[in-house]
Amino acid sequence: MITLNINNKNYNVDVDPETPLLWVLRDTLGLVGTKYGCGIAQCGACTVHLNGAAARSCVTKVSSAVGRKVVTIEGLSEKNDHPLQKAWIELDVPQCGYCQGGQIMSAAVLLKENKNPTEKDIDNAMAGNICRCGTYLRIRKAIQLAAEIQRKGG
């Protein structure tokens, strides 16, 4: 039995320690906001936070998450009011939406470490998250808006 702390809640799961964290999140625990995209850490759809750092959950063994705090898109904020979520709604960023959870989780790491990112900072930080609908321009704008909301205390 493996104990995981996900979104500030403990879960006991009976899985092989080698199982990718993504499979446990989605198939065992039903936290399906985190998406399977490529399965080889190439697209970013499966991005979660491990102790505050971004992690590609499709290649992260569940054993690596033991003793660490896992945050998924469901746990980014209690009331879906993270500045990024507010900005995403305000600017109507998603098209199909499949990659957006990963996009937001990556952007959250950026905004935690850089309160006022330039366009170049955003492009560099988000280059690992692919959007097949091509919503990149709206994503960039939303991150700038979220930074502004964050700076104003929102």
Partner 1 sequence: MKIKKTYFFPLKAVTALVIIFSVIAFMSFGFKNDLTVTNAKNEIINKDSVESVKAFMDVYKVLMSPRCMNCHPAGDIPLQGDDNHLHNMYPQRGKDGKGIYAMKCSNCHQPTNVEGLNTPPGDPNWHLPPANMKMVFEGRTPRQLAKQLINPKTNGNKTLQKLIEHADDGLVKAGWNPGEGRTVPPLSHEEFKKAWITWIKTGAYAPKP
What is the contact surface with partner 1 in residues (CB under 8 A)? 40-42, 47, 53-56, 59-61, 64, 105-107, 109-110, 113-114, 121, 124-129
> Measured from the CB atom, is 15 or 30 closer to partner 1?
15
> Measured from the CB atom, is 14 or 18 closer to partner 1?
18
Closest separation between CB of residue 26 and partner 1, Å?
18
How far apart are alpha carbons 26 and 28 in whole angstroms?
6
Closest separation between CB of residue 53 and partner 1, Å?
7
> Measured from the CB atom, is 26 or 49 closer to partner 1?
49
* Residues with Cβ within 8 Å of residue 52, at least 6 apart in sequence: 69, 71, 109, 112
Residue 74 burial (C-beta neighbours within 10 Å; 0-12, 13-18, 19+): middle
Closest separation between CB of residue 7 and partner 1, Å?
18
